[in-house]
Amino acid sequence: MKILIINGPNLNLLGTREPEIYGNVSMEDYLSQLKTEFSSQILNHYQSNIEGEIINRIQEDDFDALIINPGAFTHYSYAIADCLKNISKPKIEVHISNIYKREEFRQKSVTAANTDGVLSGFGMNGYRLAVLSLIS
């Protein structure tokens, strides 16, 4: 299975950005671990701070399933929500922190309704759990 992992704004800073919330492991290091653990799957990663680039990447349609952490776009990107609504492939939204324990504006996801499931608050392990869900 070819799984695309998309991360939104500032997630390229994982490992250094607010380590008390997001941990101290970079996405590159964590992806390396995932690729080793799930060597029979094809895991590709894409990160962008630009909403339209994320939409364009999803619409390339070269994957079997999607894991998306829209970052701040989670809370207001109806454009990404519409894009997710219009793809029929399995898709899981992941949040490293528990968005329901954060500021009030972070507790609403406009994108979640257009995914098959949401993992929130499991740290980086949320990506692993999403892969497990998609391949089972």
Q: Which of 22, 45, 46, 78 is catalytic?
A: 22
The candidate with the shortest Cα–Cα distance to 5, out of 22, 36, 28, is: 28
Q: Which of 30, 46, 78, 95 is catalytic?
A: 95
Residue scoring higher pLDDT (27 or 35): 35
pTM for this predicted structure: 0.92
Distances (CA, A) of 93 to 36, 73, 99: 22, 12, 12
- pLDDT at residue 100, as a whole number: 85
Cα separation of 25 and 35, whole Å?
A: 15
2-135 folds as Rossmann fold (3.40.50)
User: What are the domain boundaries of the chain?
Assistant: 2-135
Please name the amino acid found at residue 29.
D
The per-residue pLDDT for range 34-52, each reduced to its tens digit, is: 999 999 999 999 999 999 9
Average pLDDT over residues 65-81: 96
The per-residue pLDDT for range 110-130, each reduced to its tens digit, is: 999 999 999 999 999 999 999
